[in-house]
Amino acid sequence: MSLNIPNTLTWARIALIPLFVGVFYLPDAILGPVQKNLVATSIFIVAAVTDWFDGYLARALKQTSAFGAFLDPVADKLMVAAALILLVQLARVDAIIAVIIIGREITISALREWMARVGESASVAVAYVGKLKTAAQMTAIPLLLYNAPLLSMDMAFVGSILIYVAAALTLWSMGYYLHRAMPRLAKHMDR
């Protein structure tokens, strides 16, 4: 395992997850509901920034590695899954939305792993629709965590709209990847 600056940032992102979740389990006497929302939002944003930053540094410092390429998406998916589960518990996201997004992540991760094993990983490389899904999701989650007006805008409402957009893009991107993989899947199912 290569422990360089980008991988250290990715590990730090994973280490933030229990802190992120734990904020909501603190007694209200220690941290009130509004403060919990603000702290959790801040932690999520820091994690999102480190996600961008570790990828940038890996390329800029020429410290890309197979382990980093594996760990980075795992860290992202863990943070998003933790956030969605919390948002369901807080009644800010419908369970079906969380199931769609988390289910897609598991399905596409498994598909990518299988396609890499059969030498076909290029056919399920990240597509533009996947990037749109990620942008909608990574904007919606902090807005839903914050859950308060900001600059006279109802962030919870905007976040709710964006999380539904993210869910729709999630289904679209999953369909796209499955469609791209279908010829390879059909070829290997006959064996």
Instruction: Indicate whether 17 and 101 sit together in one domain.
Output: no
- Measured CA to CA, the distance from residue 90 to residue 83 in angstroms comes to 10
Q: Tell me: do 47 and 119 sit in the same domain.
A: no
87 and 98 belong to one structural domain: no
Same domain, 86 and 132: no
The last residue of a domain, from among 91, 120, 136: 91
What is the Cα–Cα distance from 66 to 50, expressed in whole angstroms? 19
- Single residue among 58, 91, 124 that ends a domain in this structure: 91
Q: Which of 83-87, 157-161, 175-179 has the lowest mean pLDDT?
A: 175-179
150 & 188 share domain: yes
* Of residues 70 and 136, more confidently modeled: 136
pLDDT tens profile 12-39: 999 999 999 999 999 999 999 999 999 9
Residues 85, 101, single domain; the answer is: no
Residue 124 has pLDDT above 80, yes or no: no
The last residue of one of the domains, among 75, 91, 107, is: 91
Residues 68, 3 within the same domain? yes
Structural domain harbouring 34: 1-91
Calculate mean pLDDT across residues 72-91. Answer: 95
Identify whether residues 37 and 83 lie together within a single domain. yes
pLDDT at residue 99, as a whole number: 97
Q: Residue 16's domain is classified under what CATH number? A: 1.20.120.1760
pLDDT at 138 over 90: yes
pLDDT at 170 over 90: yes
Radius of gyration of the chain (CA): 18
Query: Looking at the chain, which runs of residues are DSSP E strands?
Result: 149-150, 153-154
188 vs 191: CA distance, rounded Å: 6
Number of domains composing the chain? 2
**In terms of pLDDT, which residue wins out, 170 or 120?**
170
Q: Which region holds residue 7: left if phi is over 0, alpha if psi is between -120 and 50, else beta? A: alpha
Same domain, 141 and 75: no
Mean pLDDT of the chain: 89
